[in-house]
Amino acid sequence: MKIILKEYLASLKERGDLDKSVLPNLLSEIGLRVLNTPMIGTRQNGVDIAAVGKIKGEEKQRYLYLFCIKAGNISRSDWSAGVQAVRPELDEIRDVYLRSNVAREHADLPIKICLCCGGELEETALMNWAGYTDRYTTDKISYEEWNGDRLADLMMRCLLARELLEEEPRRNFQKAVAMVNEPNVCYEYTRAFLGNLLLEEHSSQKDQLLRLRQSFICLHAVISWAIEANNLESTYRVSELGMLFCWNLIRKREPKKRPTKHEETLTFIFDQFLKLYLTTSEMYLEKTAYAHGGTPHALSVAVRSRESVDVNLAMFELLGRLATRGIWTDLLSKRLPDADPYFLKSLTESTNRTLDTLVSVINSNPALSSPIRDDHMIEIALVLYLAQLTQSESRFLPWLKSISHRTTFALITNSQYPTCLRDYADLLAHPESADQSYLDEACVGSILYPYIYFWMQYVADEREIKEFTERLKKKIPNCTHQAWFPDEESDDLMWCGETHHGICVTDVSPHNGHEALVETLNKAIETCAAISDVSAVRTGLIPMFLTACRHYRLPIPPSFWFLRK
């Protein structure tokens, strides 16, 4: 276990990984109070993290800890110059930070200046370090080296110790790390150790925070190893899963004008899970959709399969991930008005880039106009939801019109029309037969056709609408057209993957006409009011709810089909 942790720590980058994700959680758990974490664009005066307190089991008096953090190993070439230069920052701590940045309440505390790195201080730099510390050590100021071995020891003792991290989550975590090259297997083992840590009842608030920190550290380690193995599929899936599990644990908080210290810490940890998800999603999309979305058929060919089913499934998965990221960045840009202007600008630019990429991907990959699974309605609805948020529906309505034509034409020609079958073997063989009995089985129910029909009043003329409904009536007259709403149990079940909940509204057949469909949906929205009590919706984090729907294949409720303006 310690070897795994040391390798993980050595691979971390200073900015954003070791200094923002790992070390603050570790310091909090070993008994220190973190005073500040680094911010981009501000002067640090040599100190990346400041903390105060005494380390449990090691010290009897309080210290002011000042951490100078570096990535990987520190060699002689890093001592005085370069990106990782150590000495200039140590000098700045003495000359600037200690003179002007120490709060009055901490002025009398003895000081420990810690050179922290995920790797080790190489032999070539040891003499420089020894000479420097010998020269500047005083009765009040001392120096310590916190290398990967020291950090791994603290993690083993305070976060992942055998008496704290039980055998089952420890074993599942190690298996997840070992299988980062296999996305499905890595996902299942990650789900297992997150479930071990976060789904059980916690006896105290302290235990709850410990489990969340353990989960984040383990998840971060899995993602780091997956990045090292160049497997971004694993990083995306497990980071999204971790965010949903974290939300499940903290969702019962009630917003207060003056939150307690425990609630503030929960919010901080959740922000770390969310940032990890947004970072990994950007890495994934940068290598896929952003890079190759505008090249005709490039992403489809990259699936590397002779089966059209594989291409179809992969492309809709990518489409959903793109739309979900755009929804998140749009929300954050509107919800953080007091944030740094450059950060807000980057969020807006990211949303616009995502929209442009969605258009390019759709235009460059015709498979996205012919969904093979009925639940691809989820991805289509997410794209249209983002389009409405950004007032860019007109860019996607021609695509929706193409879907309405191709899906029903596929029914007429009996060629890979949308089916509610989900088993991969069934999809490969679909359609097995042109018999009505098979059609009734393959299209026993549909969430896709009611959604398409709902939007056809904005994209099609009367002739096209009539043709659409007549084809459905002719080929799948027994199909139950339906929509889904959460119920009172959904908020307790959906975040961890339970799908047997919710309310099914079945009287939404296109055969009844647009007015009847809209009337039924409006009545259902008024009646099925439990969606307002879903924690993410209630607190304004609608993207969290939509992410869970996509992740666990729950239909997008009609409440998000059309935004009233």
- The per-residue DSSP string of 335-367 comes to H-TTS-HHHHHHHHHHHHHHHHHHHHHHHH-GG
Number of C-beta neighbours around residue 364 at 10 A: 17
SS3 category, 105: helix
Dihedral Cα 547, 373, 451, 465, nearest 10 deg: 160
**How far apart, in whole angstroms, are the C-alpha atoms of residue 280 and residue 508?**
38
Residues 48, 94 contacting (CB under 8 angstroms): no
Residues 21, 280 contacting (CB under 8 angstroms): no
User: For the packed helices 377-389 and 542-552, what is the interaxial angle rounded to 10 degrees?
Assistant: 160
Six token digits for residue 295 = 């090249």
* One pLDDT digit (tens) per residue for the chain, 565 residues: 677 777 777 777 655 567 777 888 888 888 899 888 776 555 678 898 999 999 988 888 999 999 998 888 888 988 988 778 899 999 999 999 998 888 889 999 999 999 998 888 888 889 999 999 999 999 999 999 999 889 888 888 777 765 557 888 889 988 998 899 999 999 999 999 999 999 877 668 888 888 898 899 889 889 988 998 899 999 999 999 999 999 999 998 766 667 788 888 888 899 999 999 999 999 999 999 999 999 999 999 999 999 999 999 999 999 999 999 999 999 999 888 777 788 889 999 999 999 999 999 999 999 999 999 999 999 999 999 999 999 999 999 999 999 999 999 999 999 999 999 999 999 999 999 999 999 999 999 999 999 999 999 889 899 999 999 999 999 999 999 999 999 999 999 999 999 999 999 998 999 999 999 999 999 999 999 999 999 999 999 999 999 999 999 999 999 999 986 5
SS3 category, 447: coil
Please give the angle made by the CA atoms of 82, 87 and 89, to the nearest 5 degrees.
85
Six token digits for residue 71 = 């990535």
Residues 361, 379 contacting (CB under 8 angstroms): no
**How far apart, in whole angstroms, are the C-alpha atoms of residue 394 and residue 387?**
8
pTM for the model stands at: 0.84
Please give the angle made by the CA atoms of 426, 430 and 432, to the nearest 5 degrees.
100
**How far apart, in whole angstroms, are the C-alpha atoms of residue 311 and residue 391?**
30
